[in-house]
Amino acid sequence: MPKGLPFRLKDYLELLDWTARAILENKHGYIPAHQPPILERLQIEPKYWLYMTQHFESRFKGLVGASYVLKAVCRKLEYQRTPNLGAVLQLLA
């Protein structure tokens, strides 16, 4: 038996998204029907999402988030440079 679920990550995310839309409106975790799919809402390309799920800890060695938030935090912390900025711009922009 193969390790993990027997389908692609993209299919799994679509299943989660579909399930959350099927939950009743008054329940926690409900996603309204008019909301776009999750990766579209996050503005992350599926290929980059898959890469990050497999290499997150090796690719990011500290702060992770939107580039403007990273820059603001690094200014506040008085860092000379912004760690992970290149990876964030490539994978999360």
Query: Which pair of tokens denotes residue 43?
Result: 């503005």
Query: Which residue type, as a one-letter code, is found at position 91?
Result: L
pLDDT for res 77: 94
Choose the weakest-confidence range: 4-13, 50-59, 81-90: 4-13
Burial 33-50 (b: 16+ CB within 10 A, else e): eeeeeebeeeebeeeebe
pTM over 0.85, yes/no: no
pLDDT digits (tens, 9 = 90+) for 32-75: 778 888 788 888 888 888 888 888 888 888 888 888 999 999 99
Q: What are the residue ranges spanned by the domains of the chain?
A: 1-42, 43-93
Query: What average pLDDT score do residues 22-35 get?
Result: 75
Diameter of the chain measured on Cα atoms: 51
Helix (H, G, I), strand (E, B) or coil at 8: coil
Res 25 pLDDT > 60: yes
